[in-house]
Chains A and B, each alone.
Chain A
Amino acid sequence: MTTAPEAIVGEYKWGFYDPEEALFKANKGLSREIVNVISDMKGEPQWMREFRLRALEIFWQKQDPPWGSPQLKEIDFDDIHYYVKATDRDERSWDDVPEYIRRTFDRLGIPEAERKYLAGVGAQYDSEVVYHNIREDLEKQGVIFLGTDQALKEHEDIFKEYFGTVVPPGDNRYAALNSAVWSGGSFIYVPKGVKVEIPLQAYFRINTQNMGQFERTLIIADEGSQVHYVEGCTAPIYRSDSLHSAVVEIIVKRGARVRYTTIQNWSNNVYNLVTKRAVAYQDAVMEWVDGNLGSKLTMKYPSVYLMEPGAHGEILSLAFAGKGQHQDAGGKIVHAASNTTSTIISKSLSKDGGRTSYRGLLKVYEGCENVKSTVRCDALLLDEESRSDTYPTMEIDAPDVHIQHEAYVSKLGEDQLFYLMSRGLSEEAAAKMIVNGFVEPIVKELPMEYAVELNRLIELQMEGAVG
């Protein structure tokens, strides 16, 4: 298919595209040759090439999980460009980024956000990171924030120590695929005791049609350190589908604290199949704040492995499925040590026949004492055609465990609407207010700018929801 992209710009504001001006675009399809080309172009060490090729074999052997969405079968792996390089430099100044790419990120508001309220920004366009910068004071304290490819070049020792240890290629089919063809993503290292008080952000943009984006993010928070990383993502609306399959690995060392916030707003032609996992050591805190609004199909269950006593894991998941969308989201917490605690809060909204699923795993290993966990899933259906399901799994192999689990599904209430309308609010304003209240427990955890953005996205999704 080489027809011109058809931009169907409707309610989705970010559906514009740039004419494709890639320096290099791999032919469609997946082969050892393509993997070798990627590795050659990146000038990688031999161990990484071998890692990729091993992962490719695993991908070819692995099946989709039996519980996975039937839509997975619609993905044509031969119809995807696995590597599209728009530029060969990861710049530190926006002035050096090719102009058409810079314009895209301007439209997305990234440089402006960087000036106003971020400690560092990364920007990925198709396969490659085109910009990465971090505030000088943080750099002086030893904080590393780089594109993952660049980090492999500049910090191979620390990279090699952790890469692939949290999510091995054999974890699942899409982790294997990512491991074979990964490109871009963020690498963060925060040294002992350093607290990065304001967020670092990365923005992922797919531009090319039939493109697979496979970024790979690795975050290491050394003892007693702290960091908040935020990612956002959008893509043009094309008639044909794209694939986004990322792997995120996070190591939270003793007493450290990491928060990873995602506002995923892919266009509705993107399959979003992402593996995100963190390991938390003694007294460490790992928090996932995962907002899924876009994509055709999302399957994503951020997880935390609590490896040592005192570790705490938290997953706040928000999903909004509109017409033709399926958000299969949730989280996994594994208690592998005593005196560990965890919370999962999931809020999902479905409208216009959209479907949300909460899929969660709570596991407590044998011998773990004094474990506490709270799981709460709320689903709100905005109309009769929409659907929500809950698939919670608990594997508890220890006696001294305190678990609370609650799940509610509700419909947008006539009594709530009437109450708010009796105070002068139009039906649409009333519905928006109810929805905003519903998602408030997640939104209030976001930095103000993102909370505003998320509320705006939800309002856009809500347009025409009533009446």
Chain B
Amino acid sequence: MSTLLEIRDLRAKIGEKEILKGVNLVINAGEIHAIMGPNGSGKSTLANVLMGNPAYEVTGGDIVFKGESVLEMSPDERARKGLFLAFQYPVPIPGVTLVNFLRQAVNAVRGEEVPIREFREKLFSKMELLKVDQDFARRYVNDGFSGGEKKRAEMLQMAVLEPAMAILDETDSGLDIDALRTVADAVNKLMNPNMGLLLITHYQRLLNHIRPQFVHVLVDGRIARSGGPELAEYLEARGYDEFLAELARA
């Protein structure tokens, strides 16, 4: 079993506020991990720092991806190395069609011009796999998309870019139950034994559809507890307040 991603004592701040205070995590190929946690615990910061968002400053520790530190890499270099972040709030790019965007992204990630025919075949097969309408690709990226459409567009990007390691940041937020199922089905279809998946979520409900082997609870910038799927159920049953109180007693 090969290690894909190793997060070592990762510390990060935004402005003067330290948010990550020493996160440790190892993800191997074929594994699905979930990070849960209350609001403000640093979940989205972790996702952004892993992808290299310049708004955050890493103050300590390391992120090792495929055996190499990515701390000094720009977001595009990380993407080309096989890292992918599905955004909690995908950003609209008016005037740029999804199909054009995807083509440039595929070329960039592969480091070569993919023949147009090959690209189209891939795009259409992935759209079919994810049950996405063909007209979807001609729309402007995230522009006027519903919550569900934005998340499906993220999944389509993941499908076409075929990353080695995908981080899904609150992919369930803003989705109704049908949309959640559609998106979860997509993730399950895309997951494969060579790939790692990190789900970041506030609620357990996503984990009913995508079953992680490992669940971690992030509290105040550190992983407070790790376990199997039962930990998510335990959290759901107790609620974060009780869990935090229990941690405080321990």
Q: Which residues of A contact B (CB under 8 A)?
A: 413-416, 418-427, 429-430, 433-434, 436-441
- B199 an interface residue at 8 Å Cβ cutoff? no
List of A residues within 8 angstroms of B80 by Cβ: 424
Segment from B47-55, B174-182, B206-214 that makes contact with A: B47-55
Q: Which of B83-113 contact A (CB under 8 A)?
A: 84-85, 87, 90-91, 93-96, 101, 104-105, 108-109
B138 to chain A: closest CB distance in Å? 12
Q: How far is the CA of A414 from the CA of B51 in the complex (A)?
A: 14
Say what secondary structure dominates the interface of chain A. Answer: helix
Chain B residue with the shortest CB-CB distance to A430: B76
By a CB distance below 8 angstroms, the chain A residues around B54 are 414, 418
Q: Is B171 an interface residue (CB 8 A)?
A: no
Residues of chain B lying within 8 A (CB to CB) of residue A439: 95
Do A433 and B76 have beta carbons less than 8 Å apart? Answer: no
Asked whether, in the complex, the Cβ of B94 is within 8 Å of the Cβ of A421, the reply is no
Given contacts A418-B55, A422-B51, 16 further A-B contacts (CB under 8 A): A416-B91, A418-B54, A420-B101, A422-B78, A422-B84, A422-B87, A423-B105, A423-B161, A426-B76, A429-B104, A429-B108, A433-B93, A433-B96, A437-B94, A438-B94, A440-B96
| B108 contacts A414, C-beta separation under 8 Å | no
Are A424 and B93 closer than 8 Å at their CB atoms?
no
How far is it, in angstroms, between the C-alpha of A429 and the C-alpha of B96 when the chains are bound? 13
Q: Which of B55, B87, B104, B161 contacts A419 (CB 8 A)?
A: B87
Do A423 and B91 touch across chains, with their CB atoms under 8 A apart? no
Q: Are A423 and B74 neighbours in the complex by a CB distance under 8 Å?
A: no
State the 6 A-B residue pairs at the shortest beta-carbon distance, nearest first. Answer: A437-B95, A440-B95, A424-B108, A437-B96, A424-B79, A424-B109
Asked if A423 contacts B95 (CB within 8 A), the reply is no
The answer to whether A425 and B96 touch (CB under 8 A), given A413-B91, A419-B90, A437-B140, is no
Cβ B75 vs Cβ A418 within 8 A? yes
B157 interfacial contact with A, CB 8 Å? yes
Alpha-carbon separation in the docked complex, A422 to B54 (Å): 11
Decide: A425 and B93 in contact? CB cutoff 8 A: no
Contact of A415 among B78, B91, B105, B157 (CB under 8 A): B91
Complex formed: what's the CA distance from A32 to B79 in Å?
68
Q: Which of B53, B104, B140 contacts A418 (CB 8 A)?
A: B53
B91 touches A436 (CB 8 A): no
B53 to chain A, nearest CB (A): 5
The answer to whether B95 and A420 touch across the interface, beta carbons within 8 angstroms, is no
- Which of B80, B104, B140 has the most chain A CB atoms closer than 10 A to its own CB? B104
Partner of A421, one of B75, B96, B161: B75
CB of B95 within 8 A of CB of A414, answer no
Chain B CB within 10 Å, residue with most, of A418, A423, A427, A441: A423
Q: Which residues of A contact B85 (CB under 8 A)?
A: 422
